């Protein structure tokens, strides 16, 4: 397990939705916006609401990648690689489902009755800040 830098945690907390990349069975990349929460410095969680391509990809290959960046100068950016554990029909899924339902109204009416809680364990953190000295450097 890897600990995220505090600045990365702050960025993830500020963003409502971040791009999450997965890989399909044919090797085709998939990216989808996910509303994430930082559970602790080693874990990010999101709710899987629609059980479509991202969910299907993660059930076959539990690896994913998240990217987040500062939107105004001084620009900072990070890529986080990790492995997910999907919780369905358990206490963790129920707790997250209640939290999401409380925070959102009818905009999620098309989703399934119960979401899955996706726990992303951080394995690698890369600096993606523009610059020859920074971009692509593993920092955790």
Rounded to the nearest 5°, which phi and psi values hold at 131? 145, 145
Domain annotation covers residue 104: yes
pLDDT of residue 55: 96
Distance CA 31, CA 25 (A): 14
Rounded Cα–Cα distance for residues 63 and 138 (Å): 17
d(CA 125, CA 116): 25
In the beta sheet, which residues pair with residue 98?
A: none
CA distance 7 to 11: 6
> Is 32 domain-assigned?
yes
Q: For residue 52, is it within any domain?
A: yes
| Structural domain includes residue 95 | yes
**pLDDT one-digit tens code per residue, 68-126:** 999 888 889 999 999 999 998 888 877 877 777 665 555 555 455 678 899 999 999 99
Domain housing 106: 6-138
| CATH number, domain containing residue 44 | 2.30.110.10
What DSSP letter does each residue of 94-116 carry, written as one string? HHHHHHHHHH--GGGTTS-SS-E
Q: Looking at the domain assignment, is residue 1 inside a domain?
A: no
pLDDT in tens, 15-51: 879 999 999 999 999 999 998 999 999 999 998 888 8
33 within domain boundaries: yes
**CA separation for the pair 60, 1 (Å, rounded):** 22
**The pair of three-digit structure tokens given for residue 35, joined into one six-digit string:** 């509303």
What SS3 class is residue 33?
strand
Task: Please state, in angstroms and rounded to a whole number, the distance separating the CA atoms of residues 14 and 7.
Answer: 11
Tally of structural domains, the chain: 1
**pLDDT score for 107:** 55
């Amino acid at each position: 397990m890897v600990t995220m830098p505090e600045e990365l945690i702050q960025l993830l907390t500020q963003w409502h939705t971040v791009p999450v990349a997965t890989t399909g069975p044919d090797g085709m990349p998939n990216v989808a916006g996910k509303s994430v929460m930082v559970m602790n410095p080693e874990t990010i969680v999101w709710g899987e609401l629609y059980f479509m391509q991202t969910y299907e990809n993660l059930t076959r290959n539990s690896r994913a990648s998240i990217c987040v960046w500062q939107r105004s100068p001084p620009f900072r950016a990070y890529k986080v690689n990790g492995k997910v554990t999907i919780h369905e029909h358990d206490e963790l899924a129920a707790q997250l489902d209640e939290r999401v339902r409380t925070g959102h109204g009818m905009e999620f009416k098309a989703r399934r009755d119960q979401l899955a809680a996706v726990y992303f364990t951080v394995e690698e953190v890369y600096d993606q800040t523009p610059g020859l000295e920074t971009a692509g450097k593993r920092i955790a």
